Amino acid sequence: MFEQIVVGVDGGEGGRDAIALASSLLAREGKLILAHIYGGDPRVHPSGRAAYEPSKRERTLELLDSTRAETGVQARLAWGGSSSVGRGLHELCEAVGADLLVVGASRRGPLGRVLVGDDTRASLNSARCAVAIAPTGFMNETVAMREIGVGYDGSPESEHALQVARELAAEVGAKVSAFQAPSFSSASVNAATLPLSDSVDAIVEEARHRIEALGGVEPHAAYGRPAEELAVYSASLDLLVVGSRGLGPIGRLIHGSTSQQLARTARCPLLVLSRAVRAPETPKAGRNDRRTAPGMKGDRGDGLDK
């Protein structure tokens, strides 16, 4: 499981969904940080003073305190201003050495609209930690994690996702399955010599055999658009893990990809891994670093609640 998790909180249902998911993914000795970022340039104030109004900081701390009390989690608090909510969360994750950022998918709250929408494309491209998205209403779910699924296509990113899924499953006693949505271009069968229906069946069967050969993984495959087929597949899962190429997990989410579509359509929690993310149990330098990001405030200096 993950050892240092930042949870985006905005006072809405999405934040509480995110806390519930973060708690289920937190390592036994792991630490949670509930974070609230208010938008706007922290260096600019309407009166010309280079600071936010004390009332805004007080309202933010009140929001975080009440959220922590209502959810009953042990967590540090962090808050501050940034040119965008996404950038502030990104900077905080880097400053504390977080290995996971968790947000809620609900678009009824401002944070859900920002992170699942496209308001922060430029600022989040270089995110370096994994990102998990809790579906709407997840805080009301009480089902144990029984099946973890992987979006698999044979790429290094999907191999990494499979490795992480195996390790998470081993910790919670869940089974692992994997899904591939193949196309004619990814198949080795000679589609030109077969009827269309037989070609599709052969391609799907070949994909299923490739997954079966991985060992210890329940194979699934279907012909179609990956995002759409993965969304259907996710309905039978308790967690869907996918890899991300190049830009980092949030960058891929925002720049238009299978992951971005799944952020809106997945029917279970979604975990997106970048190339930079290491396996959950691997020690990561700086995880317990108590620095705060520029413009951020720490939780009164007393760490976890006692």
Lowest-confidence segment of 39-48, 81-90, 170-179, 210-219 by average pLDDT: 39-48
List all residues 6 or more positions away from 282 whose beta carbon is below 8 Å from its beta carbon.
none
Question: For 202-244, what is each residue's pLDDT tens digit?
Answer: 889 999 999 999 999 999 999 988 889 999 999 999 999 998 7
Interatomic CA distance for residues 177 and 104, integer angstroms: 24
Question: Which domains does the chain carry?
Answer: 1-141+272-306 (3.40.50.620), 144-237 (3.40.50.620)
Could you report the per-residue pLDDT of 243-300, keeping only the tens digit for each? 876 544 444 443 446 777 787 788 999 998 875 554 444 444 333 343 444 444 444 3
Evaluate whether 42 touches 80 at the Cβ level (below 8 Å). yes
Helix (H, G, I), strand (E, B) or coil at 262: helix
CA distance to 86, 104, 125, 136, per residue, from 121 (Å): 9, 18, 7, 23
Backbone angles phi, psi at 138, to 5 degrees: -65, -30
CA 10 to chain centre: 17
